[in-house]
């Protein structure tokens, strides 16, 4: 009973905070909708560029490693850039959100990074140029515990290795 | 010979029939046994010598506090306040005045004395059944003075075993991951401490990410995951010498390590090409064996105590569930069928139960089920908690829990907690820093 109550209160607090922060930053976001499609992050908040116009990361749905249309578009741009810079090697860093056990999430991060690797390879990028590392839920980019934060954390980030 | 045998049998029979106190640990204990822990008596000369050597004013009293604290955290005993004791420690140890102890409602009494002899610490202790007015246990041993906290733990183990009929778990250590810093750049170190939170030592410096340390059940070796040089691999560490080595020569991430019950193998996951399967490596001949071969994620393996079976975590049904197989990988069957996701199965050292983490409707649970998947019991519920590890007697689980520390739900702290198999007696285990991924050692002495 008390646990339930605490849970409800916390929920109210969290949603209040979300509303407040939304007002403070003058965003017109009333839900997470404009930055998420389904539960895949589509915003640009944490995204960096590998090169001008080439986003460095792709995002995933909960417990999934399937690439969305937008992710495939990002990876096509990355492949094009890597073909032009043929001496460049990359590391794909796979991540999961915090809602999973540590060991399973390590495996899930590895699976996500490999999904990105496989797609880059279909555009002619040699496997020898790509290494993969999974951080599981150990390196979130957003420390929050809400659907938007989790969606930013489910990612595979392409990092230059040399 | 025949006469001797009869005498022994008679003696055992007598002890059993006249011992009135016993503690039932199979149910949640709502009436902890009132017990008086008299400070261990110390003569003046010994007291001074201990003070010089280990910087403790009254070593006998301090050891009794260690015992008392252990008894409290077990949830089974209620140590009575010392200011109600009428008898001096040295006299009580020689011959208790049972009516005095009955008066303060003690059912059991622990007395003892410590002496400094030949640069050693000699301990003698006795346990008394107050209602039956008789001694029920007496023991003496000698150790180096710096080991004095362990003396308290060993006494507690003997008391626990005598009164519950099962081995204790107090002379043990917990290895865990000490954490600090913001969540996005968390610094993690391997740390080890006594089960009561004292004598913390850090085994790594925090330069690389370390996760999931686990004790060898037969000695003081540890296996864990380290991101040394950005290559996540399973390592083997001797905590006495500090020497460590990579386990096997895998061309990719190895993780989720545990020892086999005989301590001779490490079982773990190896991830390559987006697929994780379970492997073992024999520590003597270095032979690597593949145990599972399935396109799904197979991880978190844990042996049954007889070594014949392995429970593990797989998403071959689409989501994380718990499976069991023979130790050669044959006869795989799913055992978790409840609502939600199941992870981190750990086989009880008693063999009858599997502890797990369950995720359902945005909450995390620590629970246990029988090895056929029946009889699921959820012991504790919270926002984030996982990684149960069994006490060596299989009666208590230690796990870690994250809690939010500010209103935005952003700040957080991670701590170790323990809970009885009964679901009662949930307690925070004291750690110097934030902590996660606990693993309980076996008993150090026996």
Q: B409 and chain A: CB distance < 8 Å anywhere?
A: yes
**Mean pLDDT over the full length of chain B:** 92
SS3 assignment, position B81: coil
**pLDDT tier, B412 (very low <50, low <70, confident <90, very high otherwise):** confident
Q: A97 and chain B: CB distance < 8 Å anywhere?
A: no
A148 with A125, same domain? yes
Which pLDDT belongs to residue B442?
A: 95
SS3 assignment, position A71: helix
User: Which has the closest alpha carbon to B58: B66, A81, B9?
Assistant: B66
Q: Report residue B372 as tokens.
A: 């056929």
Residue B383 and residue A145: Cβ atoms within 8 Å? yes
User: Which has the closest alpha carbon to B212: A102, A136, A138?
Assistant: A102
CA distance B21 to B136: 10
Residue A100 and residue B230: Cβ atoms within 8 Å? no
Which of B176, B181, B182, B183 has the most A C-beta neighbours within 10 Å, making it the best mutation to test the interface with A? B183
Partner residue facing B409 (CB), from A14, A101, A106: A14
A68 with A22, same domain? no
Residue A143 and residue B256: Cβ atoms within 8 Å? no
Beta carbons of A75 and A56 less than 8 angstroms apart = no
**Phi, psi (degrees; rounded to nearest 5) at B232:** -65, 115
CA distance A138 to A126: 28
Residues of chain A with pLDDT under 50: 1-3, 5-7, 10-32
Render pLDDT for B88-98 as a digit per residue (tens, 0 to 9). Answer: 999 999 999 99
In the 8-state DSSP scheme, what is residue B240? T
Q: Could you give the residue ranges of the DSSP H alpha helices within B109-255?
A: 148-164
**At B439, which helix (H) or strand (E)?**
strand B434-440
Q: B344 and chain A: CB distance < 8 Å anywhere?
A: yes
A114-119 long-range contacts, CB within 8 A, separation 24+? A114/A65, A114/B273, A114/B274, A115/A65, A115/A66, A115/A67, A115/A156, A115/B274, A116/A58, A116/A67, A116/A71, A116/A75, A116/A92, A116/A156, A116/A158, A117/A92, A118/B274, A119/A67, A119/A72, A119/A75, A119/A79
- How many structural domains is chain A composed of? 2
Residue B359 and residue A100: Cβ atoms within 8 Å? yes
User: Which has the closest alpha carbon to A4: B346, B363, B272?
Assistant: B363
B309-314 and B298-303 as β-strands: parallel, antiparallel, unpaired?
Answer: antiparallel
Residue A103 and residue B410: Cβ atoms within 8 Å? no
A130-136 and A90-95 as β-strands: parallel, antiparallel, unpaired?
Answer: parallel
Which pLDDT belongs to residue A157?
A: 98
The shares of helix, strand and coil residues in chain A, as percent rounded to the nearest 5, are: 45, 20, 35
Which pLDDT belongs to residue B161?
A: 96
Q: A102 and chain B: CB distance < 8 Å anywhere?
A: yes
Q: Which residues of B touch A146 (CB under 8 A)?
A: 409
Q: Is B213 exposed, middle or buried (0-12, 13-18, 19+ CB in 10 A)?
A: buried
For chain B, the C-alpha Rg in angstroms (whole number) is 24
CA distance B68 to B61: 10
A86 with A150, same domain? yes
A47 with A85, same domain? yes
Render pLDDT for B245-266 as a digit per residue (tens, 0 to 9). Answer: 999 999 999 999 999 999 999 9
CA distance B109 to B130: 7
CATH code for the domain of A88: 3.30.1330.60
CA distance B148 to B54: 9
Which pLDDT belongs to residue B23?
A: 73
Which pLDDT belongs to residue B31?
A: 85
Domain hosting A1: range is: 1-30
Render pLDDT for B138-197 as a digit per residue (tens, 0 to 9). Answer: 999 999 999 999 999 999 999 999 999 999 999 999 999 999 999 999 999 999 999 999
Partner residue facing A110 (CB), from B274, B315, B412: B274
Partner residue facing B386 (CB), from A102, A113, A145: A102
Q: Report residue A57 as tokens.
A: 């990361």
Partner residue facing A104 (CB), from B184, B343, B407: B343
Partner residue facing B256 (CB), from A100, A103, A143: A103
Render pLDDT for B66-103 as a digit per residue (tens, 0 to 9). Answer: 999 999 999 999 999 999 999 999 999 999 999 999 99
Across the range B108-131, mean pLDDT stands at 96
Residue A134 and residue B271: Cβ atoms within 8 Å? yes
User: Which has the closest alpha carbon to A139: B352, B222, B186?
Assistant: B186
Show Cβ contacts of residue B163 under 8 Å, excluding neighbours closer than 6 positions: B21, B22, B23, B33, B76, B108
Residue window 255-274, chain B: list those with CB within 8 Å of chain A: 255-256, 269, 271, 273-274
A127 with A138, same domain? yes
Residue A100 and residue B273: Cβ atoms within 8 Å? no
CA distance B247 to B237: 10
Nearest CA in chain B to A153: B184
CATH for the stretch B173-440 = 2.120.10.30
Which pLDDT belongs to residue B71?
A: 97
Q: Is A53 exposed, middle or buried (0-12, 13-18, 19+ CB in 10 A)?
A: exposed
Which pLDDT belongs to residue A18?
A: 43
Q: How far away is chain A from the Cα of B423, in angstroms, using its nearest Cα?
A: 16
Could you give the percent of chain B with pLDDT greater than 70? 93
User: Which has the closest alpha carbon to B269: B222, B310, B317, B321?
Assistant: B310
Q: Which residues of B touch A102 (CB under 8 A)?
A: 211-212, 344, 386-387, 437
Q: Is B44 exposed, middle or buried (0-12, 13-18, 19+ CB in 10 A)?
A: exposed
Q: Which residues of B touch A9 (CB under 8 A)?
A: none
SS3 assignment, position B292: coil
Report domain extents, chain B.
28-164, 173-440
In the 8-state DSSP scheme, what is residue A87? T
Q: How far away is chain A from the Cα of B124, in angstroms, using its nearest Cα?
A: 46
What CATH topology corresponds to B28-164? Rossmann fold (3.40.50)
Q: Report residue B400 as tokens.
A: 């870690």
Lowest mean pLDDT among B3-17, B198-212, B240-254, B312-326: B3-17
User: Which segments within B53-152 are labelled E, that is strand?
Assistant: 77-79, 108-117, 120-129, 134-143
Partner residue facing B343 (CB), from A13, A101, A115: A101
A60 with A70, same domain? yes
Q: How far away is chain A from the Cα of B343, in angstroms, using its nearest Cα?
A: 6
Indicate if the pLDDT at residue B231 is higher than 70. Answer: yes
**At B35, which helix (H) or strand (E)?**
strand B33-37
CB atoms within 10 A of CB B330: 8
Which pLDDT belongs to residue B220?
A: 84
A90 with A130, same domain? yes
**Phi, psi (degrees; rounded to nearest 5) at A27:** -85, 150
Q: How far away is chain A from the Cα of B252, in angstroms, using its nearest Cα?
A: 8
Q: Which residues of A touch B269 (CB under 8 A)?
A: 103, 107
User: Which has the closest alpha carbon to A116: A81, A92, A89?
Assistant: A92
A71 with A114, same domain? yes
A26 with A59, same domain? no
ipTM value, please give it.
0.91
Indicate if the pLDDT at residue B3 is higher than 50. Answer: no
Q: Could you give the residue ranges of the DSSP H alpha helices within chain A?
A: 2-24, 69-84, 102-122, 147-153
**Phi, psi (degrees; rounded to nearest 5) at B20:** -90, -25
A62 with A18, same domain? no
Strand order from edge to edge, sheet including B412-420:
B384-390, B396-404, B412-420, B427-429
Residue A3 and residue B381: Cβ atoms within 8 Å? yes
A25 with A51, same domain? no
Which of A12, A104, A137 has the most B C-beta neighbours within 10 Å, making it the best mutation to test the interface with B? A104
Bridge partner list, B360: B363
A6 with A50, same domain? no
Q: How far away is chain B from the Cα of A51, in angstroms, using its nearest Cα?
A: 24
Q: Which residues of A touch B256 (CB under 8 A)?
A: 103, 106
Partner residue facing B299 (CB), from A13, A107, A143: A107
B77-79 and A54-55 as β-strands: parallel, antiparallel, unpaired?
Answer: unpaired
**pLDDT tier, B404 (very low <50, low <70, confident <90, very high otherwise):** confident
Which pLDDT belongs to residue A34?
A: 75
Partner residue facing A110 (CB), from B186, B253, B343: B253
CA distance B276 to B299: 7
Q: Report residue B261 as tokens.
A: 């019950």
Indicate if the pLDDT at residue B105 is higher than 50. Answer: yes
Render pLDDT for B278-314 as a digit per residue (tens, 0 to 9). Answer: 999 999 999 999 999 999 999 999 999 999 999 999 9
Q: Report residue B175 as tokens.
A: 């290895």
Cα A36 to its chain centre, rounded Å, is 11
User: Which has the closest alpha carbon to B57: B122, B148, B144?
Assistant: B148
Which pLDDT belongs to residue B446?
A: 60
């Amino acid at each position: 009973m008390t646990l339930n109550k605490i849970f409800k209160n916390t929920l109210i607090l969290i949603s209040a905070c979300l509303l407040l922060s939304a007002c403070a930053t003058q965003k017109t976001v009333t839900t997470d909708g404009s930055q998420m499609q389904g539960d895949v992050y589509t915003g640009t908040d944490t995204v960096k560029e590998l090169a001008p116009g080439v986003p460095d990361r792709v995002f995933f749905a909960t417990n999934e490693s399937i690439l969305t249309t937008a992710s495939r578009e990002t990876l096509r741009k990355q492949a094009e850039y890597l073909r032009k810079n043929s001496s460049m090697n990359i590391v794909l860093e796979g991540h999961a959100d915090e809602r999973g056990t540590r060991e399973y999430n390590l495996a899930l991060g590895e699976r996500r990074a490999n999904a990105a690797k496989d797609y880059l390879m279909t555009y002619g990028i040699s496997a020898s140029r790509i290494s993969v590392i999974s951080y599981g839920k150990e390196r979130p980019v957003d420390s929050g515990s809400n659907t938007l934060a989790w969606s930013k954390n489910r990612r595979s980030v392409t990092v230059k290795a040399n | 010979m025949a006469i001797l045998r009869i005498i022994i049998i008679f003696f055992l029979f007598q002890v059993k029939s006249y011992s009135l106190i016993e503690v039932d640990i199979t149910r949640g204990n709502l009436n902890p046994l009132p017990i008086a822990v008299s400070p261990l008596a110390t003569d003046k000369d010994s007291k001074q010598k201990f003070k010089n050597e280990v910087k403790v004013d009254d070593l006998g009293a301090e050891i009794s506090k260690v015992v008392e604290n252990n008894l409290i955290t077990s949830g089974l005993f209620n140590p009575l306040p010392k200011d109600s004791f009428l008898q001096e420690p040295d006299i009580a140890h020689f011959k208790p005045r049972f009516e005095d102890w009955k008066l303060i409602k003690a059912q059991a009494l622990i007395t003892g004395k410590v002496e400094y002899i030949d640069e050693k610490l000699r301990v003698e202790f006795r346990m008394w059944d107050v209602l039956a007015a008789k001694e029920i246990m007496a023991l003496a041993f000698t150790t180096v003075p710096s080991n004095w906290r362990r003396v308290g733990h060993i006494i507690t183990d003997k008391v626990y075993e005598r009164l519950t009929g099962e081995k204790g778990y107090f002379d043990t250590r917990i290895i865990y991951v000490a954490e600090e810093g913001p969540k996005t750049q968390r610094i993690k170190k391997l740390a080890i401490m006594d089960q009561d939170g004292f004598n913390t030592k850090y085994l790594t410096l925090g330069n690389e990410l370390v996760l999931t340390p686990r004790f060898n059940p037969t000695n003081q070796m540890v296996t864990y995951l380290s991101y040394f040089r950005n290559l996540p691999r399973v390592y083997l560490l001797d905590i006495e010498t500090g020497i460590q080595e990579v386990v096997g020569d895998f061309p990719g991430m190895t993780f989720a390590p545990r020892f086999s019950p005989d301590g001779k193998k490490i079982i773990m996951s190896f991830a390559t090409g987006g697929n994780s399967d379970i492997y073992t490596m024999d520590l003597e001949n270095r032979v690597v064996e593949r145990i599972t071969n399935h396109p799904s994620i197979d991880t978190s393996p844990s042996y049954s105590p007889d070594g014949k079976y392995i429970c593990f975590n797989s998403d071959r049904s689409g989501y994380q569930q718990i499976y069991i197989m023979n130790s050669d990988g044959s006869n795989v069957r799913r055992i978790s069928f409840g609502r939600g996701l199941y992870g981190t199965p750990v086989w009880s050292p008693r063999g009858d139960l599997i502890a797990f983490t369950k995720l359902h409707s945005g909450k995390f649970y620590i629970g246990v089920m029988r090895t056929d998947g029946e009889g699921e019991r959820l012991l504790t519920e919270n926002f984030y908690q996982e990684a149960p590890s069994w006490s060596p007697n299989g009666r208590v689980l230690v796990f870690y829990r994250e809690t939010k520390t500010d209103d935005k739900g952003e700040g957080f702290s991670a701590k170790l907690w323990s809970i009885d198999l009964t679901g009662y007696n949930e307690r925070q285990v004291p750690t110097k820093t934030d902590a996660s991924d606990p693993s309980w050692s076996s008993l150090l002495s026996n």
